[in-house]
């Protein structure tokens, strides 16, 4: 086989055989096929797509490019959750300890933020000392001990995807549904899980802007998982405005802790608990949705989820005192309010614009290798449906320095992300659809 012939076949709308896909993936992972040929392949897939069997073959090839964990020696049913990415989406930080406190084993391999969406690893690393680069042996040990462990993708887990993920970002092929599905599922299936709950974000702050695209991705992901013998449930959730109030790594970590304390913004709490309840159902901990919801609410109310998070933080090298004293988290030296230029009711907030504003302050990265500032970000002071007086703060910027660029420019962008009007308004439903 020749890579150029396979690329040409897909460019012309042909259907690839599993062995052709495996040839490309193995060759790229091993260095025999260069970046420029895989970039051409990604663009061909972007425009021509893949059918279900091709997408499953791509997932299988990336999955088998590295180690597939066998966690059968870890007691309990293993269920993970994955989000397709959104602005202010710190759900995993609270979800993992809640689910673990309810008896689910959560082996979570997460990613870093890229572009306007944040990454779970960056938020965890905002906790002083927290390590996400644990060896697989320690990962197993902590799953047994705490019922949850949150790490980054190791060199052994789906290495082909790790290379391809970076290539997709710089070749404008991130939004391709077959490539997204293959990337997500190859990593998740390599974790040794029994079940998976997927949170597919829909709206301005998501990669999938339209409901139809999100639904197609959700069904593709679920189909791959089930074809490989895994239990899968997908929730489509709203990402028109940021989730919660905080956008930025330490700010979001603090908000997740507030949720575990029984507080936190209502929208963040609702999405987190809805996804947790689905995890309990997949694990067989509860058999009905109402009972599962009551159980996760009880784990927050009685403090067991917060205590589980404190143990996870300490055992992964973090400072557990930061869980009780949020002032120990990184704090930006400058806080600047963004005032409303007119009175009105918040009709809409452009989630993507808020995410890009936080990124320009240093909370996100343009390239995988970029560093982030854990302290900076944006905290919303008003959400959709709330009345605002002229001059009242719409949001507060947490920045590294005052004046000039980027603070003044970012303030203008955040103000422009808000649309105010005289009419009453209310946000739409948070959970748009369940595919299970």
**Could you tell me how many residues make up the chain?**
436
Q: Using alpha carbons, select from 285, 62, 321, 78 the residue that is nearest to residue 195.
A: 78
In this structure, what are the phi and psi dihedrals at residue 97, rounded to the nearest 5 degrees? -70, -30
CA atoms within 13 A on the CB side of 384: 20
- On the question of a cis peptide bond just before residue 406, with omega within 30 degrees of 0, the verdict is yes
| β partners of residue 152 | 110
Residue 154 DSSP class: P
Give CA–CA dist 54/345, Å, rounded.
48
The tokens for 430 are: 């948070």
Angle at which helices 91-101 and 266-283 cross, to 10°:
40
Distances (CA, A) of 380 to 26, 88, 242, 424: 45, 10, 9, 19
Check 82, 112, 269, 311 and give the catalytic one: 82
The tokens for 174 are: 């991130």
For the question of residue 168 being annotated catalytic, the response is yes
The tokens for 228 are: 């490989």
Check 65, 110, 176, 183 and give the catalytic one: 183
Check 89, 122, 161, 199 and give the catalytic one: 161
Neighbours of 328 (CB within 10 A): 15
CB-CB contact of 40 with 7 (8 Å): yes
State how beta strands 79-83 and 195-202 pair.
parallel
Q: Could you tell me which residues come within 8 angstroms of residue 335 by beta carbon, excluding any fewer than 6 positions away? A: 396, 397, 398, 399
For the question of residue 325 being annotated catalytic, the response is no
DSSP, residue by residue, 296-331:
HHHHHHTSHHHHHHHHHHHHTT--THHHH-GGGS--
Could you give the dihedral angle defined by the CA atoms of residues 122, 128, 133 and 135, in that order, rounded to the nearest 10 degrees? -150
Check 140, 168, 308, 382 and give the catalytic one: 168
Check 78, 187, 230, 365 and give the catalytic one: 187
CB-CB contact of 394 with 340 (8 Å): yes
For the question of residue 80 being annotated catalytic, the response is no
In this structure, what are the phi and psi dihedrals at residue 235, rounded to the nearest 5 degrees? -110, 130
Give CA–CA dist 55/230, Å, rounded.
16
CB-CB contact of 148 with 106 (8 Å): yes
202 in helix, strand or coil? Answer: strand
Catalytic residue annotation: 82, 161, 168, 183, 187
């Amino acid at each position: 086989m020749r890579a150029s012939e396979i690329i040409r076949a897909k460019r012309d709308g042909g259907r690839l055989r599993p062995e052709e896909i495996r040839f490309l993936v193995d060759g790229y992972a091993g260095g025999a096929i260069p970046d420029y040929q895989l970039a051409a392949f990604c663009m061909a897939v972007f425009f021509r797509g893949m059918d279900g069997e091709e997408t499953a073959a791509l997932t299988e090839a990336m999955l088998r490019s590295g180690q597939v964990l066998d966690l059968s020696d870890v007691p309990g049913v293993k269920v993970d959750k994955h989000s397709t990415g959104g602005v202010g989406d710190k759900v995993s930080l609270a979800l993992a300890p809640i689910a673990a406190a309810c008896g689910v084993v959560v082996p979570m391999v997460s990613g870093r933020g890229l572009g306007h969406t944040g990454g779970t690893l960056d938020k965890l690393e905002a906790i002083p000392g927290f390590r996400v680069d644990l060896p697989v042996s320690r990962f197993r040990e902590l799953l047994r001990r705490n019922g949850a462990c949150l790490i980054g993708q190791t060199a052994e887990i789906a290495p082909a995807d790790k290379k391809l993920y970076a290539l997709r970002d710089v070749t404008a092929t991130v939004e391709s549904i077959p490539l997204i599905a293959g990337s997500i599922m190859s990593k998740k299936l390599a974790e040794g899980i029994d079940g998976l709950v997927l949170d597919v974000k829909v709206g301005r702050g998501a990669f999938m802007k339209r409901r139809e695209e999100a639904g197609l991705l959700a069904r593709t992901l679920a189909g791959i998982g089930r074809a490989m013998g895994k239990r899968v449930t997908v929730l489509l959730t709203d990402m028109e405005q940021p989730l919660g109030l905080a956008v930025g790594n330490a700010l979001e970590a603090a908000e997740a802790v507030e949720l575990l304390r029984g507080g936190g913004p209502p929208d963040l709490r609702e999405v987190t608990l809805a996804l947790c309840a689905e995890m309990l159902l997949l694990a067989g901990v509860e058999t009905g949705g109402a009972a599962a919801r009551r159980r996760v609410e009880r784990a927050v109310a009685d403090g067991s989820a917060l205590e589980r998070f404190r143990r996870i933080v300490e055992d992964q090298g973090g400072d557990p005192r930061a869980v009780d004293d949020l002032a120990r988290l990184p704090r930006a030296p400058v806080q600047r309010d963004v005032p409303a230029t007119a009175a009105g009711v918040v009709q809409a907030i452009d989630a993507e614009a808020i995410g890009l504003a936080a990124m320009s302050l240093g909370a996100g990265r343009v390239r995988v290798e970029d560093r982030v500032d854990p302290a900076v970000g944006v905290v919303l002071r008003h959400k959709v449906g709330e009345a605002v007086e002229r001059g009242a703060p719409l949001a507060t910027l947490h920045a590294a320095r005052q004046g000039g660029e980027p603070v003044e420019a970012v303030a203008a962008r955040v103000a422009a992300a808000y649309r105010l009007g005289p009419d009453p308004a209310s946000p739409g439903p948070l959970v748009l659809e369940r595919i299970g």
